[in-house]
Amino acid sequence: MPRFGPHPARRPAVVAGASSGIGAATAIELAGRGFPVALGARRVDKCEEIIEQIRARDGEAVALYLDVTDPESVKGFVHRATELLGDIELLVSGAGDTDFGRLDAISTEVFESQLQIHLIGANRLATAVLPGMVERQRGDLIFVGSDVALRARPHMGAYGAAKAALVAMVSTLQMELEGTGVRASIVHPGPTKTGMGWSLPPESIGPMLAEWAKWGQARHDYFLRAADLARAIAFVAETPRGGFITSLEVQPEAPLASAPAERKQLKYPEQP
């Protein structure tokens, strides 16, 4: 007899921060794999547009308002998602934004806002879904972290501090949930091409990129796509019970190096 029962055939999922970027791509990916998905974000109109894509491919999804900085909004979101889709089997906590800036130049209020979104908001979401998961003895919590939590990067001190604290929270959850059947994982994106933060003016981004290069953190200019992270998150979610992914880091592959000079001189026969 197996140590654990298989995942149920129906696994309702909630995705926080689903109006764009990694969250939107994750909602689309999960729905394509058969997960009923509740998309949560402040921009519900954007979520509705994504739902049209999902339903066009015969997926099941709903769009709900969610502000992770508001405790009542989080509770209402999880309650409504459960009413519409059923008991929540999977949480993907990916709501967030970032404010670039040196720590000596940004305000404490900006610093605190990053903690509220990336750490406190993630905790609110986990707290809202955990009781039911523990009672059913199964469920997955997947948190979107950042490689900045693993290797500090100039001009991202507030964001990095929040994500580093998230790592500590997830690591503790993994210990405390052991034996409950509930799994907690964190996925760390490397540089990813999304709208988060990149709308800043060049005069803000330029100095930041220069300091990244100074510290060896801008090896090349390739970025991950949101869909790359969505596939990684789906992989974690679909890992068979009995094992789980504690931490997964995804980095963009560098562009292919130019062929050596001697190879460039080779003459290849033309194809018919």
Give the integer Cα–Cα distance in Å for 148 and 161.
9
pLDDT at 210: 80
CATH number at residue 214: 3.40.50.720
Number of structural domains the chain divides into: 1
pLDDT at 265: 45
More confident residue, 154 or 261: 154
Q: Is residue 260 part of a domain?
A: no
Q: Is residue 31 part of a domain?
A: yes
Q: Is residue 223 part of a domain?
A: yes
| Residue numbers of the domain that contains 87 | 13-253
Mean pLDDT of 213-219: 74
Q: 65, 159, 222, 268: which one is catalytic?
A: 159
pLDDT at 124: 98
Give the integer Cα–Cα distance in Å for 8 and 245.
19
Q: Is residue 269 part of a domain?
A: no
Mean pLDDT of 207-231: 83
Q: Is residue 145 part of a domain?
A: yes
Q: What is the pLDDT of residues 113-147, one digit of tens each?
A: 999 999 999 999 999 999 999 999 999 999 999 99
Residue 185 one-letter amino acid: S
Q: Is residue 219 part of a domain?
A: yes
Give the integer Cα–Cα distance in Å for 108 and 95.
21
Mean pLDDT of 251-260: 81
Q: Of all residues in the chain, what percent carry a pLDDT higher than 70?
A: 91
More confident residue, 148 or 194: 148
Q: Is residue 272 part of a domain?
A: no
Mean pLDDT of 204-223: 77
65 catalytically annotated: no
Q: Is residue 86 part of a domain?
A: yes
Q: Do 118 and 159 contact (CB within 8 A), yes or no?
A: yes
